[in-house]
Amino acid sequence: MPVWLGILLFLGTVLAMEGVAYAAHRWVMHGPGWILHKSHHGPRPARFEANDWYAAIFAAPSITLIWLGVHGGWGAWSVWVGAGIAAYGAIYFGFHDVIVHKRLAHRYLPKSAYMKRIVQAHRLHHAVEAKDGAVSYGFLWAPRPEALKAELARRGRQGVRAPAGQDA
């Protein structure tokens, strides 16, 4: 496989993973996988939470594709796709765990309109503590915060946590 085609396959996989991540977040994590994801919508009592198991679960296809591409005879396409999945995971970790949830100390403040939009959209997602009623399930693309706030208001703010310092 030509390298240019591999790079296209890698980039296409990274882009496609946003759709996979949206679907997994919306219909798995906020569905039958809520048993693990619930820990992520409340206060984190320790360094790790049950939701962290998703990192290992979602790494498995990447590891498998790379291994099968290198050792199982599946070919270069498998390595490029596995690497694209891994790259999306790294981007997700940097955005979600480091920038939004500050699981690693940093002083970064979003300045671009894009970064402000996705950070605010993710925070609006986390304003809902319940399995149902959340908004904005993507990680690298998000609707405008005004649209998300309007949707939460339309739903009567069901499941939205009270502001800090106020009773629910």
- The model carries a pTM of 0.88
Indicate whether 81 pLDDT > 80: yes
Indicate whether 62 pLDDT > 50: yes
DSSP string across the chain = --HHHHHHHHHHHHHHHHHHHHHIIIIIITTTTHHHHGGGGS---SS--GGGHHHHHHHHHHHHHHHHHHHSS--HHHHHHHHHHHHHHHHHIIIIIIIIT-SS-------SHHHHHHHHHHHHHHTB-SSSS-----SS----HHHHHHHHHHTTTTTBPPPTTS--
Going by pLDDT thresholds of 50, 70 and 90, the confidence category of residue 164 is: low
pLDDT in tens, 122-162: 999 988 888 998 999 998 889 999 999 998 888 877 767 76
| Predicted local confidence at residue 162, as pLDDT | 63
| Predicted local confidence at residue 73, as pLDDT | 96
Compute the Cα dihedral for 23, 91, 68, 64 and give only its sign: negative
Indicate whether 7 pLDDT > 80: yes
Q: Please state, in angstroms and rounded to a whole number, the distance separating the CA atoms of residues 28 and 37.
A: 9
More confident: 67 or 42: 67
Going by pLDDT thresholds of 50, 70 and 90, the confidence category of residue 112 is: very high
Going by pLDDT thresholds of 50, 70 and 90, the confidence category of residue 55 is: very high
Written as six digits, the tokens of 22 are 């949206």
Q: Which stretch of 22-31, 55-64, 73-82, 151-160 has the lowest confidence by average pLDDT? A: 151-160
| Predicted local confidence at residue 168, as pLDDT | 46
